[in-house]
Structure 1
Amino acid sequence: MPLKKIIKPLLLACLCAGSSLAVAQTKVIYNANGYTPLYKGEVQQFSTLVIKNGKVVKLGGDTLKNSFPDAKLIDAHGNTLLPGLIDAHGHIIGLGNNLSQLDLRGALSIDEVTNKLKVFANNKQDWIIGRGWNQELWQKKQFPTAADLDKVVSDRPIVLSRIDGHAIWVNSKALELAGITANTQSPEGGEIIKDEFGNPTGIFVDKAESLIKQFMPKPSKQTLSDSLDAAGNHLLSLGITSTHDAGIDKTTWELYKERGELGNLPLRIVAMLSGASPDLKTMLKAGRYQDANDFMSIRSVKVYADGALGSRGAALIEDYADRKNHHGLMLETQQKLEELFTLSFKSGFSANTHAIGDKANHVVLDAYKNVFKATGGILLRNRMEHAQIVTLDDIKRFKTLKIIPSMQPVHATSDMHMAEQRLSEKQLAGAYAWQTFLKQGSVIAAGSDYPIELANPFDGLYATITRMDHNQQPTQGWRASEVLSREDALRAFTLGGAYAAHQEFKVGSLEQGKWADFILIDKDYFKAPVDELYKINVLQTWIAGKLRYEKEAVTAQ
């Protein structure tokens, strides 16, 4: 055999052996201002963290490091150390895509959107894709039209997703390519917004989006992989060590498993199969997936029950307060929901269902109840994704049916002004009701729903604790009886997400035998003034005892 062919595998073996030795070495993080919630107990403080083989060996005080004289010592310089944060609901590929697409978040007018479009259009893509517009920020709060986009670009199709992802705004070229005319009917579970003459305006809500999106070019697996890495690096910089991906298609499913086998995922991922995928049965038949080091877990299905509040697609029991005789959109019938739940449970997968409006939550709870009775599955830790507007009676049913409320605190502070317009006081009684859920014993899994909202978990923690915007408005917090304490908020962003993923004995807190996932931050989360919480910067992010992100050299405070 040629010498070159021998040297290459030998070199690789040496590198792997060196890597294993490095991982096996005991590491001691000392001089830390450490906090961790405990799975059964309150928050524990510590200054020293001992790690071996990527897992927690022990927590303790300053003298603990003396018990490990051969360990590698790492000085935390007095900075605050927390368990790695878990975002229980996001969209990884969507976030990665957003980092390279037209970003319209925060645009205060149609003119601001079109000005950004003019600059971005110079990139010469065949399709111009963007996201983030929100008509609720504009003076007239009305949906825009294709004509507004045509003024800037008329020779190429434009598809701009609303900030919540439940509506798209397109130009006339996109309408033409998709063959959309006044005669095109809205699909079940969707709406083509039309003008007074019956012509499509360029706005497509929920399932109507597919009328346009089916013509968009499909990304390659390499593009998806690049988006995964871009999103992963961004999340690590924010202190997120694990994230739940709420709905993946077959191509992404294949990519995730490939990257999981290679061991080169940027952070821990708990992925949900998309219940809307035509390949769902194929993916379920392959069974649950878990890699050896808990970086990739696939054991649930994301089901979609209704739309979103911003596009008036959330399904309500009573009329929208600002659109009479309109109740939103159910994306699936109760019968279809029960079929999806049955299919999921029989395959050993839990069902995590998007439900925002009170009608959607009620129908989904009924569907869960019926399927539990007929098939079982109540112990699979099924979830309600968002659970934003729920009747007080139905909140109690979450506990009875063991449904986990997977909630995104930033939605409350982003939606509060709009929610007051959209909903009556009766409908608001059980809206964004974190404290009510917590008091009855429900485990809250907190997240952000990025890229709909910013992925920064400290925005979410601030919203959970204050129910205020960044200007500390309203002064007492919006519907302030639903705030959580700093401890409960941290638990929702750590152990809550871990429990929802069946991983509470692996991640979510820094306890003996768990993976050493942790972050160092520049402010004391438990003692900093409340208005500084969302300004916290992550200095370092560690996963399994390995440094994955560093903002700058850690210096003394």
Structure 2
Amino acid sequence: MSADIIIHNATVLTMDDDRPRTEAVALTGNRVTAVGSNAEILALAGPQTRIVDANGATVLPGFNEAHMHIFGGSVSLGELSLFGVKGFDALSKAVRDYAAAHPDLPLLVAQTADYTILSETERVTRHHLDRIIADRPFLMFAPDHHTAWANTMALEMGGIIKGGDVGVGNEIVMGEDGLANGELRETNAIRPVASMGATGGRESLGVGTGGDPAHVTTEERAGDIAVLKKGLAYCASLGITSFQNMDGNLYQLEMLDEIEKTEGLPVRVRMPYHMKNFMPLSDLEEKAAAWKKRFDTDKLRCNFVKLFMDGVTEGETAVFVDDYAHKPGWKGEPLFSAEAFNAVATEANRLGMPVAVHAIGDGAVRMVLDGYEASIAANGKSDMRNRIEHIEVVHPDDIPRFATSGTIASMQPTHPPGSAGLPLEPYLTYIGRERWPHAFAWKTLVDAGATIVFATDWPVSPLPPLSCIRDAMTRQPWADDMPDQRLSLTETLAAYTRTGAWVEYMEDRKGVLKPGYLADVVVLSGNIETTAAADIADLSPVLTICDGRVTFDAGGGR
């Protein structure tokens, strides 16, 4: 039987320790048929075989984006990006131009407005935004999506101009005049405004409330599916063949399932059951376990539990062991008590579901590690592959606990201040000089025996994996006495391919290129090994294959 696709004249980095590099790879159906020399693989060609000449470029297993938000990211593709915008005048022009081009939007929404978009010292308020646009509701998100700023009209229409009770860990920041000053911290505070948008805020339900929309019309659902398809196609164009979504609800799962059953997902999707602090523990067995059984294919799976332990540093909602450097007496407030989280981790693991927890501050990281150790004590040590998401700061006493507890470090090389266009402040001041050496310490954790996966947290950071790989390899320390956190190319590629598959319990069929494994492949525009680390983002995917199907083809005669 001849191969369906042959890629030859390549530098194939298989990520397989037994045969780490070859010249060519053959695909038949949705599996890798063979890897080997050009001559060996070309001999498998038949009259219908598509033969791809890689011209010496790198061929890899498809990228596995280990932490992202597909619905929110897909929606953001059609919203205003303020990435790289600095100063009031530039912000004003960008917003007014976008408003003029979109006269019918019920809510104008902007993304990636960094905390110092006005200046290093001046925080955005509704009054700034009113000077830009006062006659239409406007909302702009910080890159982390944990903080947003709204103008007066948006606050009034959302019913929160006079504040309101938004629950633990959330805040409508109030001004000296007794009215909301425009800054909204965390989902409960942002939702009253965001829900006025074109999608009704449905894209944030899976991460915000863990629930589903109360009512969706046939037309709205069709629109949401169309938005998702654009996001999925964008993933494929970047060489992504798998992603692990970090917000989950039944609404998203059923839309993705419909796409798979009607035309086929172009990317493999793993989604969680999102557990919030107000949900009963019984939901894990009654809902999460049921979802796990219902969605259990190689294309769409729902087999883990996601939680938030804290917020973000810049919004003063991250949880630290010691006080914020700029705010004595404040350590942050966790979203779960230690007792409640320990119970969730223990029960989820008992039911055979790993847990992934957003933990930014070292206090939150410590609480999650405590919970995983409590699960081990209750259930016995098993291959649960629990993880912590972000780990922006880790206390030095807790570094060895990742290896001893088997906790996976899921980190984002695009997040350190100074990387990916992010400003250094207010982050460095807020965490304080003593914490700098233990911030975004991915190499420190790897050297201590931790297993690591990489991702971007899109739409928090730009999605292209090659940019993320560059950032992991070119990280610059904030001071001369800080440890070097850069990883090698091999370590970084593993964190984006093979290890991501292992985290999903799919290491027996994806993440490496070897006979019998799923045909998930990306062909790059050049040789990543001979490209300087700083220039890796200049490479691009030219061909993406998922499950044996070409999901992106840049053309160019390949």
- Structure 2 counterpart of 1:398, one-letter code: F
CA distance in 1, matches of 2:348, 2:52: 46
Partner of 2:316: 312
What is the aligned counterpart of 2:554 among 518, 530, 551? 551
CA distance in 1, matches of 2:338, 2:170: 17
CA displacement at 1:341 relative to structure 2: 2.4
Tell me the secondary structure at the aligned position of residue 516 of structure 1.
coil
The answer to whether the aligner puts 1:462 opposite 2:466 as a matched pair is: no
What is the aligned counterpart of 1:491 among 484, 490, 494? 494
Partner of 2:241: 241
What is the aligned counterpart of 2:410 among 402, 406, 425? 406
Preserved CA contact (<8 Å) 2:56 2:526: no
- Residue correspondence of structure 1 range 165-180 to structure 2 within 5 A: 165-180=145-160
Partner of 2:521: 518
Cα gap change, 1:320/1:149 in structure 2, threshold over 3 Å: closer, same or farther?
same
Partner of 1:47: 23
What is the aligned counterpart of 1:75 among 41, 53, 57? 53
- Residue correspondence of structure 1 range 107-506 to structure 2 within 5 A: 107-122=85-100, 123=102, 124-182=104-162, 184-185=164-165, 187-210=167-190, 212-213=192-193, 215-216=195-196, 217-219=200-202, 220-262=220-262, 264-276=264-276, 283-289=287-293, 294-375=298-379, 378-412=382-416, 413-414=419-420, 417-418=424-425, 419-468=427-476, 479=482, 481-506=484-509
Partner of 1:96: 74
Preserved CA contact (<8 Å) 1:345 1:376: no
Tell me the secondary structure at the aligned position of residue 149 of structure 1.
helix
Tell me the secondary structure at the aligned position of residue 116 of structure 2.
helix
Deviations 1:260-285 (A, max 9, x none): 34452121111122223969656414
CA displacement at 1:441 relative to structure 2: 2.5
CA distance in 2, matches of 1:283, 1:189: 25
Preserved CA contact (<8 Å) 1:275 1:302: yes
Gap runs ≥5 in structure 2: 203-219
Deviations 1:112-157 (A, max 9, x none): 2232222222322122222211123432343211122223443443
Partner of 1:6: none
Cα gap change, 1:234/1:181 in structure 2, threshold over 3 Å: closer, same or farther?
closer
Cα gap change, 1:292/1:363 in structure 2, threshold over 3 Å: closer, same or farther?
closer
CA distance in 2, matches of 1:121, 1:176: 19
Tell me the secondary structure at the aligned position of residue 381 of structure 1.
coil
CA distance in 2, matches of 1:291, 1:193: 40
Preserved CA contact (<8 Å) 2:403 2:451: no
CA displacement at 1:491 relative to structure 2: 0.5
CA distance in 2, matches of 1:379, 1:409: 26
Deviations 1:520-539 (A, max 9, x none): 11221111122211111111
CA distance in 2, matches of 1:200, 1:289: 45
CA displacement at 1:312 relative to structure 2: 2.7
Tell me the secondary structure at the aligned position of residue 410 of structure 1.
coil
CA displacement at 1:160 relative to structure 2: 1.9
What is the aligned counterpart of 1:531 among 527, 530, 534? 534
Deviations 1:378-432 (A, max 9, x none): 5221110111211122121111111111111111225672343222333223221
- Structure 2 counterpart of 1:98, one-letter code: S
TM-score under structure 1 normalisation? 0.87
Gap runs ≥5 in structure 1: 1-20
CA distance in 2, matches of 1:546, 1:347: 34
Partner of 1:33: 11
CA distance in 2, matches of 1:503, 1:44: 19
- Structure 2 counterpart of 1:371, one-letter code: S
The range that moved more, 168-177 or 379-388, is 168-177
Deviations 1:434-479 (A, max 9, x none): 22222233221110111111001111111111214xxxx97x9994
What is the aligned counterpart of 1:62 among 38, 49, 62? 38
Tell me the secondary structure at the aligned position of residue 446 of structure 2.
helix
CA displacement at 1:213 relative to structure 2: 4.6
Preserved CA contact (<8 Å) 1:385 1:405: yes
CA distance in 2, matches of 1:144, 1:406: 31
CA displacement at 1:64 relative to structure 2: 0.5
CA distance in 2, matches of 1:126, 1:416: 31
Deviations 1:302-349 (A, max 9, x none): 100111123232211222223333323422222332343244334432
Cα gap change, 1:152/1:425 in structure 2, threshold over 3 Å: closer, same or farther?
closer
Preserved CA contact (<8 Å) 2:35 2:41: no
Preserved CA contact (<8 Å) 1:174 1:212: no
Cα gap change, 1:213/1:395 in structure 2, threshold over 3 Å: closer, same or farther?
farther
CA distance in 1, matches of 2:399, 2:250: 34
Cα gap change, 1:257/1:478 in structure 2, threshold over 3 Å: closer, same or farther?
farther
Aligned residues: 526
CA distance in 2, matches of 1:79, 1:28: 14
Tell me the secondary structure at the aligned position of residue 435 of structure 2.
helix
CA distance in 2, matches of 1:173, 1:485: 50
TM-score under structure 2 normalisation? 0.87
Deviations 1:485-510 (A, max 9, x none): 11101101111211111111221110
Tell me the secondary structure at the aligned position of residue 133 of structure 1.
coil
CA distance in 1, matches of 2:41, 2:375: 53
- Structure 2 counterpart of 1:241, one-letter code: T
CA distance in 2, matches of 1:478, 1:81: 38
